[in-house]
Structure 1
Amino acid sequence: MKIHQLEGYIQNIFLVEYPTKLLLLDGCCRADVAMLRRYICEELARPLSQLELVMVTHMHPDHAGGASYLHRRFKLSIAGAEHPGEWYQGIAGRCKHLVDLALAHYVAKRHRRAKANLWYSPKLTFTHRLKDGQSLPGFEDWQVCFTPGHTDRDLSLYHPASKTLYVADCILRVKGSLICPFPISNPSLYRQSIERFSQMQVDNYLLAHGEGGKISQAELSQLQQLCPEQATSYKGFLGELLRKRLAA
């Protein structure tokens, strides 16, 4: 097994290579699909059909957008959490989907990325729905960890043999410091998820945003303390963003 870290549109992409198959640890952005396809077909000299599974840790644009396109265009298998309902269900959910797309464009602008089409369906048709503790289909050396808090259905992916853990957006590193993601939909569950990480044997953290590697118990404890007492709201975030724009 070899893990390739690629620079995505606004996030890190982790592609796991085996002799006859490939695993994508998260669904990335729609804007990443062409680059990912080129990397597989040209850099690795492998057919795209060897990408046997695309994981979706949660439904945000930089984790599900590419999966939606890959499933529809190339009929690739995608897997996500076994959880009732849809993250973007109902009118409020559709509005939240549009806000998340707008935030993804905002992050891209701050990273000085060229404008790109990030649109994807707010509802995915999963090939596999996975529960906590299950092995990934076709990749039994990887295990699913249900680690909600950022959203209500976040997954982390653990490789016990190498003590490697992909935590998606559960942990972010900005300017060398660990921070909590936005939003925090359930602070209590988020703290429990971080506590779970602290009890696991992990030598190598893979982060969707920022540099991974070793994370100490002290850093994890500090992250729990940084977690807000109340769920962080889109309304408050957008209000603060608007105030900054007007003051600029």
Structure 2
Amino acid sequence: MDFKIHQLKGYIQTIYLVEENGSFLLLDGCCRPDVKVVESYLESKLNRNLSDIKLVITTHAHPDHMGAVSFFQKKGIPIAGPRDLNLMYSGPFGIVTYWVDILLTYLVALNKKRGFKNILFSRKVKLDYILTDLMEVPFFKNWKVLECPGHTIMDLSIFHEEQKLAYIADNFVSTKTNVFRPYPIWKPQEYRSSLQRYIDLGINDFLIAHYGQVKVSHERIKELIDSTPDIPRKHHNSLPAILMKLLKSVFK
């Protein structure tokens, strides 16, 4: 393996910092407070600087994947992401979705006992690079972009073909014993197709935002495909049950 993956504990998610040929690739846009986490890790653990990050990728528009990108960009680091990134939080419905996602992020943080921090971020980002299916990641030619939507309308996975390794953001969530579908799932048919793509590409190792690096059998992926319902799980039809579950876990 000609690269190293550093795993950092973010506000509510695992941060993946790829070190390759003396430069760094941040595989997702993190939460707003995670800028300091990444900067501190580079300086104290690696004796490097934030400017050594060549590129930050945002895979989709959620607070723990897009929330820090504008702050990294202000520090001179280019940002790459999907073409439709800004659609998620645009218009009246998008504004409501943004605030619901902020609330859900805080509930997850409370459940993880991470405390209350400022996670507000701009709903619009001017991307330096637009990432499309199968293109090489800028500055990191061994990594390719996979368009794997379904969780939202624009999810990206970042794939290292030689290692059969992929960062898949939220397309799985995991515990120590199993992997599960995420919430929400905007487009179930596209989500099933995205999971099938992992099988077709022979991906064995997955970097998951809400756990860590795991091996997932193709049999388990097929089970998730077959058991994914046709009805989308979105805020308007699933949020009350999700909120009750999170509140019970926070205050149990």
With the length of structure 1 as denominator, give the TM-score of the two structures: 0.94
**How far 1:197 moved relative to its partner?**
0.5
Moved runs in structure 1, 4+ residues, more than 4 A? 241-246
Please show how residues 82-93 of structure 1 align to structure 2 within 5 Å.
Answer: 82-83=83-84, 86-93=87-94
Identity, in percent, stands at 37
**How far 1:236 moved relative to its partner?**
3.1
Q: 1:64 aligns with which of 57, 62, 66?
A: 66
**How far 1:226 moved relative to its partner?**
3.0
Summarize the Cα distance change of 1:9–1:85 in structure 2 as closer, same or farther, 3 Å threshold.
closer
**How far 1:242 moved relative to its partner?**
5.5
Summarize the Cα distance change of 1:95–1:141 in structure 2 as closer, same or farther, 3 Å threshold.
same
Partner of 1:103: 104
Summarize the Cα distance change of 1:18–1:212 in structure 2 as closer, same or farther, 3 Å threshold.
closer
CA distance in 1, matches of 2:30, 2:237: 26
**How far 1:75 moved relative to its partner?**
2.2
Q: Which stretch shifts more, 201-210 or 120-129?
A: 201-210
> Is the CA contact (8 Å cut-off) linking 1:180 and 1:226 kept in structure 2?
no
How many positions carry a matched residue from both structures?
A: 247
Partner of 2:129: 128
- Which amino acid in 2 is paired with 1:110? N
CA distance in 1, matches of 2:184, 2:227: 13
- Which amino acid in 1 is paired with 2:187? N
CA distance in 1, matches of 2:100, 2:243: 14
Partner of 1:226: 227
> Is the CA contact (8 Å cut-off) linking 1:135 and 1:144 kept in structure 2?
yes
Please show how residues 43-192 of structure 1 align to structure 2 within 5 Å.
Answer: 43-72=45-74, 74-83=75-84, 86-192=87-193
CA distance in 1, matches of 2:243, 2:54: 43
CA distance in 2, matches of 1:3, 1:59: 23
SS at match of 1:101: helix
Partner of 1:207: 208
> Is the CA contact (8 Å cut-off) linking 1:179 and 1:226 kept in structure 2?
no
Partner of 1:41: 43
- Which amino acid in 2 is paired with 1:24? L
**Which ranges of structure 2 fall in alignment gaps of 5 or more residues?**
none
**How far 1:207 moved relative to its partner?**
0.6
Q: Which stretch shifts more, 38-47 or 171-180?
A: 171-180
**Which ranges of structure 1 fall in alignment gaps of 5 or more residues?**
none
Summarize the Cα distance change of 1:107–1:243 in structure 2 as closer, same or farther, 3 Å threshold.
closer
**How far 1:86 moved relative to its partner?**
1.6
> Is the CA contact (8 Å cut-off) linking 2:86 and 2:124 kept in structure 1?
no
CA distance in 2, matches of 1:152, 1:30: 22
CA distance in 2, matches of 1:200, 1:31: 35
> Is the CA contact (8 Å cut-off) linking 2:86 and 2:123 kept in structure 1?
no
- Which amino acid in 2 is paired with 1:10? I
With the length of structure 2 as denominator, give the TM-score of the two structures: 0.92
**Root-mean-square deviation (CA), in Å?**
1.9
- Which amino acid in 2 is paired with 1:93? G
Partner of 1:18: 20
- Which amino acid in 1 is paired with 2:65? H
Summarize the Cα distance change of 1:84–1:203 in structure 2 as closer, same or farther, 3 Å threshold.
closer
**How far 1:85 moved relative to its partner?**
5.9
Summarize the Cα distance change of 1:243–1:216 in structure 2 as closer, same or farther, 3 Å threshold.
closer
In the alignment, structure 1 residue 216 sits paired with structure 2 residue 205? no
**How far 1:4 moved relative to its partner?**
0.7
> Is the CA contact (8 Å cut-off) linking 2:61 and 2:85 kept in structure 1?
no
Summarize the Cα distance change of 1:243–1:171 in structure 2 as closer, same or farther, 3 Å threshold.
closer
CA distance in 2, matches of 1:18, 1:133: 20
